[in-house]
Amino acid sequence: MAEQKITTFLWFDHQAEEAAAFYTSVFPGSRVVDVQRYGEAGPGVAGTVMTVTFELAGQRFIALNGGPLFPFTEAISLQIDCDSQAEVDAYWAALTEGGGQEVECGWLKDRYGLSWQVVPKVLMEMISDPDPERSARVTRAMLGMRKLNVQGLRDAYEGGGATPAP
pLDDT at 164 over 90: no
- Of 91, 85, 88, 71, which Cα lies nearest the Cα of 23? 91
| Extents of the domains making up the chain | 1-68, 72-166
d(CA 106, CA 79): 10
- 42 confidence band (pLDDT: 50, 70, 90): confident
- 161 confidence band (pLDDT: 50, 70, 90): low
Q: What order do you get walking across the sheet with 107-109 strand by strand?
A: 77-82, 115-120, 107-109, 101-102
Three-state secondary structure call for residue 65: strand
pLDDT digits (tens, 9 = 90+) for 117-147: 999 999 999 999 999 999 999 999 999 999 9
- Kindly report the pTM of this predicted structure: 0.91
Residue 161: DSSP 8-state: P
Domain 1-68 has CATH 3.30.720.100: yes
Backbone angles phi, psi at 75, to 5 degrees: -65, -20
Q: What order do you get walking across the sheet with 49-56 strand by strand?
A: 8-12, 59-65, 49-56, 31-37
Hey, what CATH class is 72-166 in?
alpha beta
